[in-house]
Structure 1
Amino acid sequence: MSLKESILEERLPYHIGVIMDGNGRWAKQKGMIRAIGHENGTKAVRQTVEACAELGVKNLTLYAFSTENWKRPKLEVQTLMKLLVSSLKKEIKTLQDNNIKLSAIGSLHTLPKKVHKELFEVIEKTKDNARMTLTLALSYGSREELICAVKEISKKVKNNIISPENIDESIINEHLYTQNLPDVDLLIRTSGEQRISNFLLWQIAYAELFFTDVLWPDFTKEHLYEAIIEYQKRERRFGKTSEQLS
């Protein structure tokens, strides 16, 4: 039985998040500049998106560019932005053909005008697609997201729109970038690093974490299947005991 055939359809994660790490190291290992690693990483993106859609995963969120990534060398940042624009243009047909809706979260206003324009054109064109939602986290940082949410809620409290006594998880969820997305069920990080790196800190409260040594450009559908199979082996208790679940 193949890995794909081993996956239980009824126990698919509803929302998968991916920290796509290792592009630079992949290029360095091959004696190439980091930009080549990012270019090859787009192949892994395509494979992961296609695999999730084929399996029936409803939500996939990719950590494409963090708020901290702006601190990288200027040439690398420029390359990443150009790559993003070209990828969006290339993949629009794939998104449409596979009925995939594109979304984006983060401080999107900080993106270069050309990137912002191209991004929202694709978002508009795919807004009615319903098979799966692909969300790109761009210029994204979870701490910044939480700060923005606190500020918005504070304003509403000050203006008597929200009562402090009524602030609960649902109120906070409504003020996050991910307000239209469910919590993450499975979080995958490539490259062997085992940290969260300021990604969806609120949304992964009960996520199953899967770390792999595979560098992102080498990540294939088979690696995704391995992560999902591992996820399906785990008992998700959400604070309860095994006996309570059974």
Structure 2
Amino acid sequence: MAPPRFKRLPKHIGIIPDGNRRWAQNKGLSKEAGYEFGLEPGIQLYEKCLELGIKELTFYGFTQDNTKRPAVQRKAFQKACVDAVKKLSNRDASLLVVGNSTSPLFPPELRAYTTRQTFGRDLIKINFLVNYGWKWDLNYALRNSDSNHTNMVKAIASTDVSRIDLIIRWGGRRRLSGFLPIQTIYSDFYIVDDMWPDFKPEHFYDALAWYEEQDITLGG
């Protein structure tokens, strides 16, 4: 079935795929079991973005704060991030992983993707935030900009990620959770109450329908 038609689409969409642990508990599973069920929704969303011609997509994988969770959960979401990147590396996309890759908590399988890798027809830019922290991102700029800090925005670790037009968060929580503070400064923010493993294309289309009615001024 063809996707709906929209009169205006965001160029760059940020995804916060929350609710994996709560979904698993509701199904009588262990908390860490939920992350595996978040893989297929990511592929579905990628395909919908291709159909619509979305130019860039950023997934929030896991944060440095998330690594404080129990080891069994940490290993599960690390594996889910590795599996997601591997799945999409066989598709028509350029992939970039942004996060503290010098940490032992960063999956070594993803170090090759800390510079953008292009696959197939390169129809969409996809960014994964893996072992990401907003303080790490901004402190990177402080260490690498000139003495007057005039180039700080260009010196952040996530500088290859463009400004985000629309953020969609699954799981009902109404917070950014440290998601790319520079790129999200003027983002519109849409909440899906359903958990991420319960992804439906209608969630995405509803968010896009809402977005096209927003007054986008970027402060002007």
Structure 2 unaligned residues grouped into runs of 5+? none
Matches within 5 A, 1:68-147: 68-93=65-90, 95=91, 99-111=92-104, 115-118=107-110, 120=112, 126=118, 129-147=121-139
For residue 175 of structure 1, the aligned residue among 129, 140, 155 is 155
Question: What amino acid does structure 2 have at the position aligned with 1:145?
Answer: D
Structure 1 unaligned residues grouped into runs of 5+? 158-163, 241-246
Residue pair 1:109, 1:116 contacting (<8 A) in 2 also:
no
Aligned to 2:9: 12
Deviation for aligned residue 1:36? 2.1
Question: What amino acid does structure 1 have at the position aligned with 2:4?
Answer: E
* CA distance in structure 2 between the partners assigned to 1:66 and 1:122 by the alignment: 16
Higher relative contact order (CA 8 A, sep 6+): 1
RMSD: 2.3
* Paired residue total: 220
Whose radius of gyration is greater, 1 or 2?
Answer: 1
Residue pair 1:149, 1:176 contacting (<8 A) in 2 also:
yes
Percent of aligned positions that are identical: 30
Stretch deviating more after TM superposition (48-57 or 172-181): 172-181
Matches within 5 A, 1:1-246: 4-8=3-7, 11-93=8-90, 95=91, 99-111=92-104, 115-118=107-110, 120=112, 126=118, 129-153=121-145, 156-157=146-147, 164=148, 167=150, 171-240=151-220
* CA distance in structure 2 between the partners assigned to 1:87 and 1:150 by the alignment: 31
1:8-31 alpha-carbon deviations (Å, 9 max, x no partner): 2xx211111111100000001111
1:84-107 alpha-carbon deviations (Å, 9 max, x no partner): 3344444432x2xxx211111111
Deviation for aligned residue 1:181? 2.6
SS at match of 1:209: strand
